[in-house]
Structure 1
Amino acid sequence: MKLRLCKWAVIAMLMLSLGSPSRAWVSLVDNDKGKLELETRLMFWGVSAGRDDVPSGPVQSENINDFFVRRARFLVRAKASPKLDIYLQLGQDNAGSKVLKPDAGFRIKDFYLNYKRAEGLQLLVGQFKVPFLRQNLESGFNQLLVDRATLPSLRPALEGQRDEGGMIWGNRKGFQYRVAVFDGSDQDATNNRSSFRAATRLSYNWFTPEPGVGYAGTTIGEKRILQVGLQGDTQNHRMDSKDDAGFTTLSRDYRAWA
């Protein structure tokens, strides 16, 4: 009992010390020819769960008390020219050292090029987040709540909330638009009838514009942000491995609006 209390005291102190993740880009190159920056991010979780709370994996015979790395990220961003940016994010997502998510492991999260013809006309190509639901576009390291809801991960996509494709987007004052076309949820080897996937999002910000590709979940009261968004996500003749048993091989037309 005493050992257990000491363990949780140490975890509590670590959690308090890591309450706000430390982030700082380190510049490797910064001159007239371009700019290259690196950053690492870590998020730690402490978990105390009963054996009946474990959703999947091997049958648990005891309660789970664990301290682990929930998210780990290695980021690289480069400015090849005044109009061309390159972004790479490698990462690991772990729902618990004893219960792993399907996409656990260190892998490519984002890898894209963004060409900025003007603030109102930009072209982004590569693997990136699907522009559907603001919560999906927020960084996992500055969310208002401890983690995302399950809804963004229920939609079909590579890497859960990401897909491979291209997007035209831009900003004008508080207004932002995104129109994207993606490879889709299933591969040709599985279903050669599926169409490309299309997603679009329109939003308007009062008070403080948010002109970036990603959003902040919270600014801890430093900025006044009020955004209203309208978005859609669609793909014809797709098959979804997340469907109930007996429906995973059925071709369906997927539609989502919010």
Structure 2
Amino acid sequence: MKRTFKATLFLLTCICWAGSLAWGGYKFTINEETRGEIGFWTQGWYQYVENGRDSDNDGVADEGVNDFMIRRAYLSLKGEIDPYLEVFTHIASDRIGQDGLDRSSLGLGSGVAFRDLWITFKMHEAFKLQVGRMYVPFTRNYGTTSTMSLMTTDLDWTQGGVRGNIFYPSKVGRDDGGTLWGNVMDGKFQYRLMVSEGVEDSPMNPDDNLRFAGRFSVNLFDPETDWFNQGTYLGKKRILALGLGGDYQEELRFGDQEDDYFAWTADLHYDQPIGTSDAVTVEGAYIDIKNGPNSITYTQFVSGNDGSIISLKAGYLFSGKIGIGSMQPFAHYEYIDVDENGKEDTAIYGLGLNYFIKGHANKLSMDLSFVDQDEEIKTADMDVQDHLIFTIQLAAGF
């Protein structure tokens, strides 16, 4: 009863402060055990996409798109009810104003959704039970890294990049379920084990089978013990993290065939301060997919295919101020290999620049990427063309 009262009081306080003009980044304490924080963060984008609009409605993109959008707008609420119980949520809208997109129930294009929403029961630092909607503990790129602290302007093409999509089952990169996770060996080893819905009861999952995902990571230098990691630590940490993840759901139906979906990944993240304040960041990942549930946009990979993905990123932070901020050029590369006879592969590569005004949340970024097809296809059934994508981002938040 006492915990119920504390939880109710905490949520009422959040609602009251959310209506105030001064709530952004506000930390408050109700008593010695109950405290919370409210914040807001958003990204404004301009994006040019070559071959991005289907002008004659034949299912094939044939014109460039000049697109202004709010890429992300997140109101975050988090709080500790007592030493054993925490709550967290992102109330979010994504891709507001993106050309041709409106899925309001998921907070895409218009509308607002609970993007993340969970309760954590902390029995011990090595044993935490988290229940609700959350990241799938599988890859590092969209399994542990906060989208507020990406080094690149956007997520990988195959894991939520704005013109790509997510190859695994998800609700905008999340899933509903429970995760057991924790840190051991002074925070040098972290595990996450999830049971969730994945592909829900549908023609693809007629037996409503559960999904099982897990991730293990070892940090050889500084530990990463939080739920959200950073894509680059801006010279504040020395990280060498090795990760291994898996994702499985049995007996999914692909047309007339039934088979198990399974994917695994191995990844490495290296962050090294140089001199007094400069830093280099390097990240690489390999993903192997069997019977992928989702097609990958602008590639020949479709639902039910096998394939693999290679992702590489590197950046260098120059800490010296230019005007009011510091600069970080970066490069990224992603290769999608389709293991099906007669199907060709796709590469996405590009260069970008971050201008940090005040940490990750407040920055100006730009990126020029090229989608390179081994074979270009332009039909009503498949649109696989080479094209350029240019993006400018301004992010601000508390």
**TM value normalised by structure 1:** 0.78
Counterpart contact for 1:202–1:231, Cα < 8 Å: yes
SS in 2 for 1:255: strand
User: 1:153-198 CA deviation, whole Å, 9 max, x = no partner?
Assistant: 11012x1321111111110121001111112212268744132110
* Distance in 2 of aligned mates of 1:57 and 1:47: 22
Counterpart contact for 2:54–2:63, Cα < 8 Å: no
> Could you say which residue in structure 2 is the equivalent of 1:67?
68
> Could you say which residue in structure 1 is the equivalent of 2:139?
133
Q: 1:208 aligns with which of 219, 222, 243?
A: 222
Counterpart contact for 1:236–1:254, Cα < 8 Å: yes
User: 1:203-244 CA deviation, whole Å, 9 max, x = no partner?
Assistant: 1012211111111111122211111011110011224xxxxx
* Distance in 1 of aligned mates of 2:55 and 2:77: 34
| 139-148 vs 103-112, greater mean Cα deviation | 103-112
* Distance in 2 of aligned mates of 1:168 and 1:82: 17
Residues 224-235 of structure 1: matches in 2 within 5 Å?
Answer: 224-235=238-249
Kindly indicate whether residue 283 of structure 2 is the aligned counterpart of residue 257 of structure 1: no
> Could you say which residue in structure 2 is the equivalent of 1:14?
none
SS in 1 for 2:89: strand
Q: Quote how far apart the aligned CAs of 1:45 are.
A: 1.1
C-alpha RMSD of matched pairs (Å)? 2.7
Q: Quote how far apart the aligned CAs of 1:58 are.
A: 6.1
Q: Quick one: percent identity of the two aligned structures? A: 30
Kindly indicate whether residue 173 of structure 2 is the aligned counterpart of residue 161 of structure 1: yes
> Could you say which residue in structure 2 is the equivalent of 1:34?
34
Q: Quote how far apart the aligned CAs of 1:117 are.
A: 1.0
* Distance in 2 of aligned mates of 1:84 and 1:57: 55
* Distance in 1 of aligned mates of 2:192 and 2:156: 23
Q: 2:117 aligns with which of 111, 119, 124?
A: 111
Query: Against the structure 1 CA distance between its residues 62 and 165, is the aligned structure 2 distance closer, same or farther, given a 3 Å change threshold?
Result: closer
Kindly indicate whether residue 195 of structure 2 is the aligned counterpart of residue 181 of structure 1: yes
> Could you say which residue in structure 1 is the equivalent of 2:182?
170
Letter of the structure 2 residue corresponding to residue 175 of structure 1: F
Query: Against the structure 1 CA distance between its residues 84 and 248, is the aligned structure 2 distance closer, same or farther, given a 3 Å change threshold?
Result: farther
- Which structure has more relative contact order (CA 8 Å, sep 6+)? It is 2
* Distance in 1 of aligned mates of 2:79 and 2:56: 40
Query: Against the structure 1 CA distance between its residues 48 and 188, is the aligned structure 2 distance closer, same or farther, given a 3 Å change threshold?
Result: closer
Counterpart contact for 1:88–1:110, Cα < 8 Å: yes
SS in 2 for 1:110: strand
Counterpart contact for 2:118–2:132, Cα < 8 Å: yes
Query: Against the structure 1 CA distance between its residues 180 and 55, is the aligned structure 2 distance closer, same or farther, given a 3 Å change threshold?
Result: farther
SS in 2 for 1:151: helix
Q: Quote how far apart the aligned CAs of 1:34 are.
A: 0.4
* Distance in 1 of aligned mates of 2:174 and 2:229: 15
* Distance in 2 of aligned mates of 1:54 and 1:218: 34
SS in 1 for 2:176: strand
> Could you say which residue in structure 2 is the equivalent of 1:53?
52
Letter of the structure 2 residue corresponding to residue 253 of structure 1: D
Q: Quote how far apart the aligned CAs of 1:116 are.
A: 1.0
* Distance in 2 of aligned mates of 1:129 and 1:56: 36
SS in 2 for 1:154: coil
Query: Against the structure 1 CA distance between its residues 57 and 29, is the aligned structure 2 distance closer, same or farther, given a 3 Å change threshold?
Result: farther
Query: Against the structure 1 CA distance between its residues 48 and 34, is the aligned structure 2 distance closer, same or farther, given a 3 Å change threshold?
Result: same
Counterpart contact for 1:166–1:182, Cα < 8 Å: yes
**TM value normalised by structure 2:** 0.52
Q: Quote how far apart the aligned CAs of 1:54 are.
A: 4.1
User: 1:77-111 CA deviation, whole Å, 9 max, x = no partner?
Assistant: 11111111100111112175323275413211111
Q: Which runs of 5+ in 2 are unaligned?
A: 1-23, 160-165, 266-398
Counterpart contact for 1:93–1:101, Cα < 8 Å: no
Number of residue equivalences: 227
Q: Quote how far apart the aligned CAs of 1:55 are.
A: 7.9
SS in 1 for 2:214: strand
Counterpart contact for 1:57–1:99, Cα < 8 Å: no
